[in-house]
Amino acid sequence: MTDTLSFDAKQVMPGHADLYYGGGWHAPVSGTYDDTMNPAIGQPLGAVATAGKADVDAAVAAAWQGFLEWRDVAPLERARILKEIAALLRKHGDELAMIDAANCGNPYTEMRGDAAIAAAQMEFFAGLVTEMKGDTIPMGPDRVNMTLRQPLGVVARILAFNHPFMFCGGKMAAPLAAGNAVIIKPPVQAPLSALRLAELVDGLMPKGTFSVLPGGTEAGAALAEHPDVAKVTLIGSVPAGRAVMRSASATVKPVLLELGGKNALIAYPDSNPEKIADAIVAGMNFGWCGQSCGSTSRAFLHEDIHDEVLSYLSDKIARYKPGIPTDPETTMGAIVSRDQFNRVMEYIDSAKSEGARAVTGGYAVTDGPLADGCFIAPTIFADVTPGMRIAREEIFGPVLAVRKWGDEDEMLREVNSLELGLTCAIWTRDLVTAHRTAARVEAGFVWVNEVGRHFLGAPFGGVKQSGIGREEGIGELISFTHEKNVHINLSGQ
């Protein structure tokens, strides 16, 4: 890998850039390698293998052999191995965070938290291996009827670029705990931390149990439609989710999709305006440039507190200043790629042309060392109307739209008017209002007087076109098993 960082990259970057499957490293059949970038400085970090259909076929065959061995490992032994992996994630958390900071543009300090979350998820699911329980069903004398939970086989997980290592290290946990083999397709924009993870866990599980296949849409489609892949999951955009569903339909395999969000933060008039300003800033995840499907990017402020909330925002947002992501002092990183940067700037330009008022930000940052990077100031627009693009479309950037409301029914109709329904944050001091609104909003995950946080054990996922299925709880583990019924006639012989 090219040393383009302010530290010795050779000490933290993966030593391999090929495909990892069958317990070893393999060059792609096509011989294709593509540069992966550091979006903060606009320079390549090195060339990484790009998997194609032939590589997917080879990796799935190896994963199937790994599954046949891994499924028979006793549950508590699987748990012990997963806890050993979790310990490795904690031990190497700083270097994994630095790899992601360089490769995806999120700040090093935020990525350290991601590494810790991945380790916690591994430990959490390791602790649930004995909870994949069946039932006994009464059938009368001389008969026993019971259900078993068994692993699916080979599972493919296609990941997004905003939390590369957290998704890789955390999302492998549930299917592995259930006894499946896992193939990770890391994000095209940021594959390096997944390759480093493969180096760290090499040899801890049977060969083929864990694979990493960097690649683009060809690899993703090949995994989704492969007859020997039992389930495919995606964290990504709605169009990507639709494409995975189409490919998976060829073999009628189940999917788990965590897709986009255009999430609402609703502030009632009894809310504390300064706390609402804090929540608006926290809920947008400005640290990683708003590149989060769960970001509350639409703020609905009651007319009684609207102006006062806005008056706090400039000061509240001041701590988020774009900087070089690998610098531990940086509080806000870079957009992941030049294409994504251009997309976000197009939304900002459209908001201005449609009449929205920039309360803060609304421009690219190109000062000094940031001149060649993909940096955008944290941006909040007021005077937004329902027809504006920034009010209706997921931007996946540091841009928030503020709406003033007075009529609750009208406000809730607008909140629920979109095809997306991932998260929602409700702010009120009234318990009845909180319960009523939580019941009426069309979202899969609702906070009341809280925003942005995930809780291990609490199911996370969306409704409508924000996804299918739930993660981060026991339901995720169970979703990587199938239920088998066994009926025994004790008097049949």
CB atoms within 10 A of CB 59: 30
Q: In terms of C-beta density within 10 A (0-12 exposed, 13-18 middle, 19 or more buried), how is residue 44 classed? A: middle
Residue 27 phi, psi (nearest 5): -70, 145
Residue 126 to residues 75, 130, 173: CA-CA distances in angstroms?
9, 9, 8
Q: Which residues contact 11 (CB under 8 A, 6 or more apart)?
A: 95
Task: From the candidates 225, 258, 471, 472, give the one annotated as an active-site residue.
Answer: 258
Whether 335 and 105 have beta carbons less than 8 Å apart is answered as: yes
Instruction: Give the type of residue at 345.
Output: M
Q: In terms of C-beta density within 10 A (0-12 exposed, 13-18 middle, 19 or more buried), how is residue 134 classed? A: middle
Q: In terms of C-beta density within 10 A (0-12 exposed, 13-18 middle, 19 or more buried), how is residue 121 classed? A: buried
Residue 258: active-site member: yes
Which positions are catalytic? 258
